[in-house]
Amino acid sequence: MLGRALFKGTTNKRQITGVRYLNIHEHESIDLLQKFGVTTPMGKVAFSPQEAKQLYSTLPGEGAFVKAQVLAGGRGKGHFDNGFQGGVKLCLNENEVEDVASKMIGSRLITKQTGEDGRPVEKVFICERRYPEHEYYTSITMDRGLGDARSNFGPVLVSSAAGGMNIEEVAESNPDAIVKKHIDINSGLSMEEAVEIAKKVGFPEVSVKSAAEMYVNLYNMFRSLDCTTVEINPMATDKDGSAIAMDAKVNFDDNAQFRHKEIFNLKDWSQEDPREQVADKADLNYIGLDGSIGCLVNGAGLAMATMDICKLHGGEPANFLDVGGSASTEQVTDAFRLITSDKQVSSIFVNIFGGIMKCDVIAAGIVEAAKTLDLTVPIVVRLQGTNVEAAKEIIDSSGMKIISIDDFDESARTAVLMSKVTSIMKESGLNLTADFIQK
């Protein structure tokens, strides 16, 4: 994927905000590319080794690639939890295809992007073998660092003759090898502009027109389907000079889900954190992290500030969780259930600024969750804004041992302290009693 190296000076907020981008499997991306006139190798998906063997005979030529279908990059250099090496393998006959598929399907593929647990492989893409003359890199994404007075972001086409490689490493070591073209979102990408890009990248004359046509088709797909990224790595030239998309990775803006329901129905929850599926059903914005302080906040900006101040005081947030501006008592309870499903959580920090969201609704939800879920970890609550006095009355009269603090800095410091105390007591085999929490 495109990284910070391509756009120095821009801010990559995706990892820490509630914005989510649909990611679909390679074979699904290939299907979409073909609908927009992009040439790709032939391929079919198999859900068993036997099906993979049967599909091999339907492809043209000799040999085929078996590609593990997981939502992560770096598959070729990855390894499986059963010891098998490589998530992309060239096979020369149907028996090889069956053997390789048997080692992939039902196992977990571990790459630089998956973490130590890897991702489950439930299917493989059996793909026609092609013989590219040269490999290139191409992608279209949104550049939010244009500094244009009329707009602070826009689509950008990025292409390079250094295909099949980690583009971020190329951008760091040889930035001149990267060609970037910002596209006017109103007028789109013209054929003339696309030809100019292809020439700058270094496509041979026989391939320039074909490459330019692919650029235009990719942008049409990017715009029509509300994509956030369309990445082809490698984009290759065939013996006759035609451009081919050998691989594809496509992401979509979740805000456009209502326009593309058939695409969003492709979401593969087996590839996601199970907690994120729970959050999605409860209409909560949640991203699991590695810390011990469960955060429940309303608003992405305040959520980011809350995580920052926890780290400032020596703590580590366990999650990003934005309940939004109109959460119900039931949603707050769902949020607590989600937070406490993480066994690493040793304190909960609730930080709410009531505008549209009313503090008394949050307070009722906190009390309900504490009773319903029989919470044992300390809860630190900071409430400010609409109906805050009524909220404090709900908490005070609940009989629950909830720590209520008005000051942002002090409440964060307390949440960090309680997290550390809880962890120490657990390691010592002691229980953190309600009386101790109150003191």
As annotated, the active-site residues are 137, 231
**How far is 84 from 315, CA to CA, in rounded Å?**
38
């583009």: which residue's tokens? 167
Query: Do the bridges between strand 379-385 and strand 403-404 make them parallel or antiparallel, or are there none, so unpaired?
Result: parallel
């696309």: which residue's tokens? 194
Give the up-direction half-sphere exposure of residue 199: CA atoms within 13 A in the CB hemisphere: 7
Spatial strand order in the sheet of 379-385? 285-288, 319-322, 293-297, 347-354, 379-385, 403-404
**How far is 420 from 403, CA to CA, in rounded Å?**
16
**How far is 256 from 268, CA to CA, in rounded Å?**
18
Give the type of residue at 137.
Y
C-alpha dihedral sign at 158, 216, 212, 186: negative
């805000």: which residue's tokens? 255
Q: What is the C-alpha R_g of the chain? A: 25
Report which of 212, 171, 220, 169 is spatially closest to residue 194, judged by C-alpha positions. 212
